[in-house]
Chain A
């Protein structure tokens, strides 16, 4: 499967725990974007990364959320000390270049906080 790969598909955490969401972009894509979709809401941009660089994190909450895209391995979205309001679907997208290119999405990770 050459598409955007996200794992896990479903993640359950208790309040206060940490959640780690992983995303491997499509082959040949070096630009990764994370979006969050709350129930009955549209997707909201969170962060845009290239290898080893955060380009735009204007959509990320200031606390508890962080993202990285290391030289080797997948991009990671990390949520510390999760709260009930973090329950959402988190989608990763990738594109071969930045700019106006369409983005291709992974299946998403559905995070549930107990």
Chain B
């Protein structure tokens, strides 16, 4: 089983739609969680951290369920500029005071006019 699994998509949605991305992780020792977005041939950019209590940033809502090792991202009222690949990212301790980010392969979103 992969450490971080995401539906690869692509998700093609019309402007204004609500879209949800799901992610599962295998390592129960994982300690922090993030969503990044990556535009084509660009670097990953931090979208938001994910907390157990759930958190919202404008049109974006992230949820974490530690018991089921599941992370979600909801985008409301999607815009053309939301078109990108969304990366589920998990941070875990790897020993000797080190932490590693483990990336999912990403879910590609295309918002269509």
A-B interaction: yes
For residue A69, CB closer than 8 A to chain B, the reply is no
How many residues of chain B are within 8 Å of chain A by beta carbon? 26
Interface check A85, CB cutoff 8 A: no
Give complex CA distance A43, B43 in Å: 10
Q: Are B96 and A43 in contact (CB under 8 A)?
A: no
- Listed in ascending order, the chain A residues whose CB lies under 8 Å from chain B are 33, 35, 41-45, 48, 55-56, 58-59, 89, 91, 93, 98-100, 102-108, 110
Question: CA of A108 to CA of B41 in the docked complex: distance in angstroms?
Answer: 9
Secondary structure of the B side of the interface?
Answer: strand
| Chain A residues with CB below 8 A from B94, complex form | 56, 58
Q: Beyond A41-B105, A42-B87, A42-B104, is A105–B97 a contact (Cβ under 8 Å)?
A: no
- Contact, CB under 8 Å: A105 / B43: yes
* 11 more CB-based (< 8 A) A-B contacts, given A104-B46, A108-B43: A41-B105, A43-B101, A43-B103, A44-B103, A56-B96, A91-B43, A99-B99, A100-B32, A102-B46, A103-B46, A107-B42
Complex CA–CA separation, A105 to B45 (angstroms) = 7
Which B residues fall within an 8 A CB radius of A?
A: 4, 31-32, 34, 41-46, 49, 87, 91, 94-106
Alpha-carbon gap, A58 to B102, bound state (A): 13
- Chain A nearest CB from B21 CB (Å) reads 14
